[in-house]
Structures are given as structure tokens and as C-alpha cells.
Amino acid sequence: MLAGFAALPLARRAAAARAIPGRVATVDWALLETLLALDVVPVAAPELLLYRSTVIEPDLPDGIADIGLRGQPNYEALRATDPDLILSSNYYTWAEPALRRISPVESISIYGTGEPVFAAAEAATRQIGVLLDRQEAAERLVEAIVDRLAVLKTELAGGDGRPLIVINLGDARHFRVFGADSMFGEVLIRLGLANAWSENTSYSASAPLGIEMLAQVPDATIVVVPPVPPDAARVLPGSAFWNALPGVADGRLLRLDAINPFGALPAALRFARLLVDALARPPEERGLG
């Protein structure tokens, strides 16, 4: 038996030498996406109703306990699920002392680490694979998403070559933009698309900017990522200034379905797929309507 154990690869020996957590909880949506993509169903996670409407993929199976708000998890509800391990991230450092009174905590961060976010998402996937003895599944997931992005890039070959500006509307007068250091920005690069926004955005998205800033990128196709606030959906279609923006006036306005802008590899692939589909739509099927 000892000889057989010694013959195992190092990562498998490490997993075999410790107890593999059977009941995993998470307080982070990006890690929840990754768990589900690895066919690991956590015992608990936060804001599941909102996840279903704003993250959407991967699907949430039945049986996951909802532990309340991400910014204010219900520790009693989490304790009741009796997790062996809780996955956290740098967004929840403040909560980890309380989480550790329930179960061991492993912090796995994708955003804010100083590493390109796509690479950080790959590393997070592999780290979860090691923790849960799912190394092969983790490698398959990483390879499948990288390969799928390459296929989607070929589908865009022969496009109009215009840059894109990916935004999220704050209200009828302001937006946030996703730069090259965001997950959306990195996906654009992998798809062979130019990002019209060249200024820094601190790995996520810029502070709110005035709608008039969109006039500075007249050649860009405008890509709107939900949610679209009700006042923006009501006001902008009738706004003379909005409709005079070159991207809007020329029918270069795309509204995507909901995606998690701070997601992991599943969110990156969802963004790429929805974007490629939107670019193929005729102008009359685009816009904020």
C-alpha cells in the first residue's frame, strides 16, 4: 500500500494525505461559478435569487442553502449547513474571523491581486481543483474555455474591425467602462477585438463617467452590460444627445444579457458568447429596447 501511495503524482498524494472536504460553502459568486462548473454543488452560498437573474450560468441546482447577502452573510444559516470548508476571497476578508468560527476558510482571489484577471481565474480554478481533489476536472475546464474562446475568435474573423467600448449604465447620465485590465477587457483581447477605452480602470471598471465621454470614441461599437436602470431605459431612447452619439446613430449599440462582471472563467465565456451573438444581430435587434 505504501509503495502504491508513493507512486501517485505529488498533487494526488497531497490530496490523499488529507481529508477532502465533502461539504463546501462559499460567500463569493466567482467561486460559486467555478464550483458549479466543476460539478461541485456547495451546501451554501449567498443571494441565490439574485444569482439566478444576474449571473445565470452555471445553473444553480436545488439543495443549496441561501445564506443571505454577500455583504452581510447569515452566519447561523451557514453554520446550520455544517460545512467542512468555506471558500472566501479578498472581498470578504472582513468576514473571515467569523467564518473561521464555523469552519476552516480558504481565501481564493481573482480580482485585486495584481495578476491579470483571466490568469487569476485560471489559477483559482486549479486551486479549487487541488483543494477538492478535482485537478483533472479543473484542467479540463480551463482548457475547454480557452479553446472555446479561440473558436469564437475565428467566428469573428472578417468583422468590421471597429473597437468596442464595454459599459454598464449607472443612470441616464453616467456609465462605468471596462478597461483592458478587467475580465471583459481580457476577453476582448482573446477574441482579437480592440478595446476603445485605453485609460486605466483598476482591474474592474472606472468610476462613473458622464455620458458625454462616449463622444470621445466615435468609431467604437457601444456594448451595454446589464443591469440597465429603469430611468436610463426610459430616458435614453428619446434623448437627442444619446441618439446623436455616432455609435448609437449608426446602429452600433449592443445590449447583452446579464453577466457577472466580477465573475470567473464561466462568466468570461458567457460574455464572449453573448458578445459574438450580439455582433451577428441586425441593427434593428440591438439597442436598449
For 189-244, write each residue's pLDDT tens digit. Answer: 999 999 999 876 665 667 788 999 999 999 999 999 999 999 999 999 999 999 99
Together in a domain, 49 and 176: no
Whether 175 is in a domain gets the answer yes
Whether 275 is in a domain gets the answer yes
pTM recorded for the entire structure: 0.89
Q: Which of 213, 285, 221, 211 minimizes the C-alpha distance to 248?
A: 221
Together in a domain, 274 and 176: yes
Q: How far apart are alpha carbons 67 and 49 in whole angstroms?
A: 11
Together in a domain, 44 and 104: yes
Together in a domain, 140 and 6: yes
**Predicted pLDDT at 287:** 67
What kind and span of H or E run contains 244? helix 240-244
**Predicted pLDDT at 21:** 83
Whether 52 is in a domain gets the answer yes
List the 209-210 sheet strands across, edge first: 209-210, 174-177, 164-169, 221-224, 253-255
**Predicted pLDDT at 231:** 93
Write out residues in the chain with pLDDT < 50, as ranges: 1-8, 13, 15-17
Together in a domain, 117 and 186: no
List the 65-66 sheet strands across, edge first: 65-66, 44-45, 24-26, 85-88, 105-107
**Predicted pLDDT at 212:** 93
CATH assignment of the domain containing 255: 3.40.50.1980
Together in a domain, 126 and 257: no
Whether 218 is in a domain gets the answer yes
Contact, 20 vs 132, CB < 8 A? yes
Whether 236 is in a domain gets the answer yes
**Predicted pLDDT at 1:** 41
Whether 150 is in a domain gets the answer no
Together in a domain, 48 and 122: yes
Whether 139 is in a domain gets the answer yes
Domain boundary among 145, 176, 207: 145
Q: How far apart are alpha carbons 137 and 213 in whole angstroms?
A: 44
Which residues form the domain of 169? 160-280
DSSP class of residue 173?
S
Whether 224 is in a domain gets the answer yes
**Predicted pLDDT at 177:** 93
**Predicted pLDDT at 284:** 66
**Predicted pLDDT at 180:** 87
**Predicted pLDDT at 2:** 43
- Total domain count, the chain: 2
